[in-house]
Chain A
């Protein structure tokens, strides 16, 4: 299973090495990792999407909490949090398919950031579900270059505990 870890860490040099090194040396699988400042200049938020058995994911959280510079580890449930990723993709789209590609981009609310004679570069953001579908739709035309930020996520604030997460 997949799990989103939202990790608040002290904004120190080396802290990313401590976190990523833990995943490497204990053999945990990372799907994506994104780090950036928070509202507090002394704190950085690292969001890691990892996959593994349930026990492994729990073990990851516990090992992370032992790291000196880690303040807080949250395992975010899919429907109790918001997650977003930014995708940049350059699609091979000559004049013959340009309209189709633009339509797809439009349907996903994506921005067009560059057009050349033979390609279109698309900027799209969304949750994991949306970006996956968009990428699949574009693959048909041929994606020549792609960059993804990796997931960032925050828990929903104020969601009553009794609201069961959706399946």
Chain B
């Protein structure tokens, strides 16, 4: 039966489990939007295409489902680039459909024409420019498959206007094959049994083992297996920034985050361990510090689903190419229990000597606000961040109870990610309270999406830790550029509470310590989005810190802390 290209895409999105789209219409995508409306496909109209992509990102991270993003050609498409790059770096699946000028006009510098295929090529897992409506069915199916299989990632389908209208025979039950068979692309290796044996032997020989668990655990749905493995073996667990939530933050074996702003005890354990088991992390430079000083005394095992990650940055003794859940299942079945009292005592001592902490005074300390959010929510909410100091404090001070409850831009470090990602997260998990911990700089970059939150009444709880600075850059200038502060100050920040009200969102302005807790409690009860502008201590720094280019053993602890122990 003949269907228009637009109808085919919508039918295939539905058939492949896509339940929602975020986007903005425009000239070159109008036939598709016309069909979208009549099909009743759920769609959230955003205020900027970057917002739409980050919403799809937040949605996918918390729900495990995939959303579509729809934009027009030219600027609509180029506005997705940051979000695509962000999703690619953090391995987040999404299907981005961009309108394109009609095929005869491609290459003529037509109105709102951009080379979306070329622009999106380096920031996607794969991309397609569809020039024949007969290909659409196969392309959409393949796009979903590419985005969600193996190491997930974003894909783009560039969809010319005439192809949206052109018709093709469509049979939803047809099996399609758009490329010569590339089945091996989608096959996940079974764990190599010899490598598993070597890992088990290494574990049994090790006196000072550490697990470092990354986002691969979350993507594989292997949190339960990880928790079982750690508790059974008594091996302490470090979570990378993106792996947070994959292991209970309240477990005594939990060591927090490693690397540049990791806990002192996590970095000490990394430097001292004799076996490092990296489960689904990619040895990011913020984790390793200077590579040749990283885990120098350790046998390093690395489990990853992406062959290109094995040995990419860190010399690995036991590389295992597999789904980390399969590996953990094998380990749990085979590994023997071994007591390592000396190592456990050492780690306890490090924890006691160097707890996460901060100094108290009359000002509102940003860490205090985060601790209050943690207390009010009990670690059961979904926590989203922007990028900067507040992100590191959130990663340090929140104790995540559940997998997929932390949404943060890790690899790309995209300021402005927070608000749209929080909106997407709330759409993906409406049963959860979604807290956004943001900075004034980050929030300013995409705050226009407050309008989206208000329009659809998406009740995200926004806590801006407002220090009137690009705080992380200010910190680096203070520490590494001899306090030569260059363009990091926002002395005339807007009144964010009033801005919120302008968007029909309830706003609070908090300048007193006494009001922190009560405002957060009030906000959590409000049935709708809320913006809380916390005027926090302006010159607070994130500690500990491994200076850029230094080894984790050169970590600086910062000034002595005299405040409450966390």
Contact = CB atoms under 8 A, between A and B. Distances in A.
B411 to A, nearest CB: 15
A65 interface: yes
B42 interface: no
A10 B179 contact: yes
Given A17-B118, A42-B180, A68 B311 contact: no
Contacts of A62: 307-308
Interface stretch (B121-129, B338-346, B417-425): B121-129
B303 interface: no
Contact of B146 (A40, A43, A68): A68
Given A12-B179, A42-B180, A68-B185, A55 B122 contact: no
Contacts, number: 43
Contacts of A17: 117-118, 121
Nearest to A8: B180
Contacts of A43: 180
Nearest to A64: B308
Contacts of B182: 10, 68-69, 71
Contacts of B312: 59
Interface in A48-93: 55, 58-59, 62-63, 65-69, 71
Nearest to A24: B122
Contact of B179 (A40, A66, A69): A69
Interface in B251-286: none
A62 B319 CA distance: 14
Contacts of B146: 68
A43, A58, A65, A66: most-surrounded residue (chain B CB, <10 A): A66
A44 to B, nearest CB: 11
A55 B311 CA distance: 8
A37 interface: no
Nearest to B125: A68
A71 B180 CA distance: 9
B306 interface: yes
A23 to B, nearest CB: 11
A12 B142 CA distance: 15
A10, A14, A55: most-surrounded residue (chain B CB, <10 A): A14
The 8 closest A-B pairs by CB, nearest first: A62-B308, A68-B126, A42-B180, A62-B307, A25-B122, A10-B179, A63-B308, A21-B121
23 contacts: A10-B179, A10-B180, A10-B182, A12-B179, A14-B117, A14-B129, A17-B121, A18-B121, A21-B121, A21-B122, A25-B122, A40-B180, A43-B180, A59-B311, A63-B308, A65-B308, A67-B126, A68-B126, A68-B182, A68-B185, A69-B126, A69-B182, A71-B182
